[in-house]
Amino acid sequence: MFIAFTAYGCVLNFRHSKRSQLNTIYPVILPVSEENMTLTGRDRVLYLSKYARNALELSAKKSFIYLGNPLKDEKGVPMPVDGNYWSVSHKPKYVGGVTACSRIGIDIEEIRDCREALFKKIANQREWELTDTDKNTLFFRYWTSKEAVLKAVGTGLKDMSRCKILKVIDENNLMIDYMDKTWPVEHLFFNGHIASVNKGLYDINWSVG
């Protein structure tokens, strides 16, 4: 067995000499079949939640991490397993999961038109003036980025107003300020959707099934 340390000092155990890049995380996104898109109510919620765990398991395998059946605490916050953190997201058309040995969050949204009233809730005027990107696209960049960070910390949407965009670096990266800490976030655009992950010191290797 080989033991290696990531950029965060976490220990990963390997049973094979061929190892993945240690400081890379692997968010996995899976499409929902047309048949399962027709599910409604509790059946839909249960299916999507379980399917998102499939994406999580694939992410963990890519990182040589064993999560087993990870649990959430009484507030619904994912509980780390042996120092490994995890996050899932499920929407009607796609689900996603990611693991890392530091606090991690993932969020997925379909890019669509938004009501004007929502723009003031997600960001202030300074944040909107950071870039001249299409406003609906930018809305979901901001929304998924902030949601990913809040998921990573475990505070939830109640702290959205305290989560601020510091800088838009390029089309796929931005920086967030939250709780006196800077959070780098990376996006992936795919099939009319966007996924965001707070990346920390990691490189990201996205996988869309």
**DSSP letter, residue 158:** G
Answer whether residue 2 is part of any domain: no
Answer whether residue 204 is part of any domain: yes
Residue-number span of the structural domain to which 184 is assigned: 25-208
Question: How far, in Å, are 102, 127, 163, 170 from residue 23 at the CA level?
Answer: 11, 30, 26, 22
The rounded distance, in Å, linking the Cα atoms of 178 and 93 is 30
Answer whether residue 114 is part of any domain: yes
CB-based contacts of 167: which residues, under 8 Å, 6+ apart? Answer: 130, 174, 175
Q: Residue 164 pairs with which residues in a beta bridge?
A: 177
How many alpha carbons fall within 13 Å on the CB side of residue 132? 0
Answer whether residue 1 is part of any domain: no
Answer whether residue 5 is part of any domain: no
Q: For 162, list phi and psi in degrees, rounded to 5.
A: -90, -10
Tell me, what's the pLDDT at 12?
52
List of the chain residues with pLDDT < 50: 1-9, 11, 13-20
CATH no. for residue 175? 3.90.470.20
Tell me, what's the pLDDT at 18?
38
What digits encode the pLDDT tens for the residues 139-178?
999 999 999 999 999 998 888 989 999 999 999 999 999 9
Q: How many Cβ atoms sit within 10 Å of the Cβ of residue 109?
A: 18
Tell me, what's the pLDDT at 24?
94
Nearest in space to 178 (alpha carbons), one of 156, 157, 162: 162
Answer whether residue 3 is part of any domain: no
The rounded distance, in Å, linking the Cα atoms of 122 and 144 is 10
Answer whether residue 190 is part of any domain: yes
Domain count, the chain: 1
Answer whether residue 144 is part of any domain: yes
